Amino acid sequence: MGLLTNRVERSEIKPGDHIYTYRAVFTYSHHGIFVGGSKVVHFTPRQNPNTSSDGSPDLYDPAPSIASSCEIFPDCGFRQPNSGVVLTCLDCFLGKGSLYCFEYGVTPSVFLTRVRGGTCTTAASDPADAVVHRAMYLLQNGFGNYDVFQNNCEDFALYCKTGLLIMDRLGVGRSGQASSVIGAPLAAILSSPLKLLMPSPVGVATVTAGMYCMSRYATDLGVRSDVIKVAVEDLAVNLGWAEPHEALAEEDTKGSGRLVVR
């Protein structure tokens, strides 16, 4: 792996690695978990052209015809009905793109030197078997609705690697990639982690210059204080896809504004 790029060869990746590739000429990256045997588990929009929230389904539909086009693996494109989590071969995942490996446990200084969001995180990765377990579990059980700003392929891979979820009123999300798409997002500027990182109101101009990097840093999984570790088996409950604890979660959001999970 080079110093300035996460480009890797196929022979270098191991089961449990978070890999990604660029689509549409470097405007969009697609992320997945390599589970071994030339297979990748990744999160894609469901096969519904009307699900895109921003009116550009082509840009955010990285695998429109994945199931029918593969001649290498007969089970390539496997997914549960109504699930966005799909198992494909590495070739179908990459398309014509190059292979990159997402970095975990980088230092804050390394993180801030990365020009492009969504290539590394300061959060630590869990052991490979735990990562593969989460990916395979979610393949069987789904990962909620695809939303590029709140619950996208990068969030999926980040969750599989770390077990960490960002909990707030809006649910999971705000990955580095979503931040890149909308530049320095107002939501991130106003978010409490960034306020804590700003020493004082003095030198606002300086802060603005570094705002893009800082907002990425403040929204990074490894830095945020509002992330929680969630076992994959409990995921549906914590994200509100399952009924049992919904009333409880609702109560916790009152007052604090944050979902508190005990």
Query: Which residues have a catalytic role annotated?
Result: 30, 42, 153
Around Cβ 152, how many Cβ atoms within 10 Å?
27
Q: Report the DSSP beta bridge partners of residue 78.
A: 87
Positions in the binding site for Zn ion (CB under 5 A): 70, 76, 89, 92
Q: How far is the CB of 30 from Zn ion (least distance, A)?
A: 14
> Cβ neighbours of residue 48 under 8 Å, at least 6 residues apart?
none
Amino acid identity, position 42: H
Residue 88 CA from chain centroid, whole number: 18
Instruction: Give least dist CB 94 to Zn ion, A.
Output: 10
Q: How far is the CB of 143 from Zn ion (least distance, A)?
A: 20
Q: Which is nearer to Zn ion, 73 or 212 (CB)?
A: 73
Determine the Cα–Cα distance for residues 223 and 193; give it in Å rounded to an integer: 8
CA distance 88 to 38: 9
- 133: nearest Cα among 253, 46, 235: 235
Asked if 123 and 104 touch (Cβ cutoff 8 Å), the reply is yes
Q: Smallest distance, Å, CB 37 to Zn ion?
A: 12
Q: Give whichever of 76 and 178 is closer to Zn ion, judged by the CB atom.
A: 76
- Measured from the CB atom, the residue of 76 and 86 that comes closer to Zn ion is 76
Cβ closest to Zn ion, residue 41 vs residue 89: 89
Q: Residue 30, SS3?
A: strand
